[in-house]
Structure 1
Amino acid sequence: MPHLVIDFSANLADFPEAQILKDVNAALCTSPEIKDEADVKSRTHRITHFEIGAQPENRGFVHAQLRLLSGRSPEAKNDLAERIAAVLRKHTPRPEGMMVQLSVEILDMDRGSYVKERL
């Protein structure tokens, strides 16, 4: 915990996955909500098959989902979402003539059923 998954549409050809992961981890690790930087696990998924609305031509998306153990305040969640969004705003390509939608979602994981070990 936390787990960050960033999905992006494959039509964002120059999406800088490695740079985004580096920068988003750095932004999250400076949050007081993150007690151990080694707990932040981030990854990207290029989505090749997608639809956006009824007229998907010239549309793309980036969606980040941060999964955290439950118990954080709404203010803390908002701060984490904004940290992620800032990195995505900075690095997401904006191809001419394409509408790109950006979204960030914070999800609670149940503490009682979460298992984590360091091997």
Structure 2
Amino acid sequence: MPHLTVEYSSNLPGYPEAQALAELNAAVCASPEVLDEADLKTRFVRTTDSFQVGTEAVGRAFVHAQLRLLSGRSPEAKKDLAGRVAGVLRRLTPRPQGLMVQLSVEIVDMDRPSYVKERL
């Protein structure tokens, strides 16, 4: 915990994944909600060419981040974390000419009693 997954559509060429990973991890780990930086696991997932935003077949793209946290965080803490993630993605997401890009961030509570994590 936490787990951060960023999905983005394949029509966003040159997405700076390495830079975004570093900046996302720094932003999230700067939150007082993250007690140990080694607990954060972040990954990027690029979609295949099979995606669609709305009813238009072309001209649209997306970036969606899901930050999964153990349950118990306040609404204010969740809003702060969502803002940290959105800020980095807003700044680094490519904006190709003629392409409308939708950015979304979702905070998801993980069930604390059933979550298992071990360091091996």
TM-score when normalising by structure 2: 0.98
Q: Which runs of 5+ in 2 are unaligned?
A: none
Residue 114 of structure 2 is aligned to residue 113 of structure 1: yes
Q: Give, in whole Å, the separation in 2 of the partners of 1:52 and 1:29.
A: 31
Residue 25 of structure 2 is aligned to residue 5 of structure 1: no
Q: Give, in whole Å, the separation in 1 of the partners of 2:84 and 2:41.
A: 15
- Aligned twin of 1:33: 33
Q: How far off is 1:44 after superposition?
A: 0.4
Q: Which runs of 5+ in 1 are unaligned?
A: none
Q: Which runs of 4+ in 1 moved over 2 A?
A: none
TM-score when normalising by structure 1: 0.98
CA RMSD of aligned residues (A): 0.5
User: How many residues align structurally?
Assistant: 119
Q: How far off is 1:56 after superposition?
A: 2.7
Q: Give, in whole Å, the separation in 1 of the partners of 2:62 and 2:28.
A: 22
SS at match of 1:44: strand
% of aligned pairs identical?
66
Amino acid aligned to 2:20: I
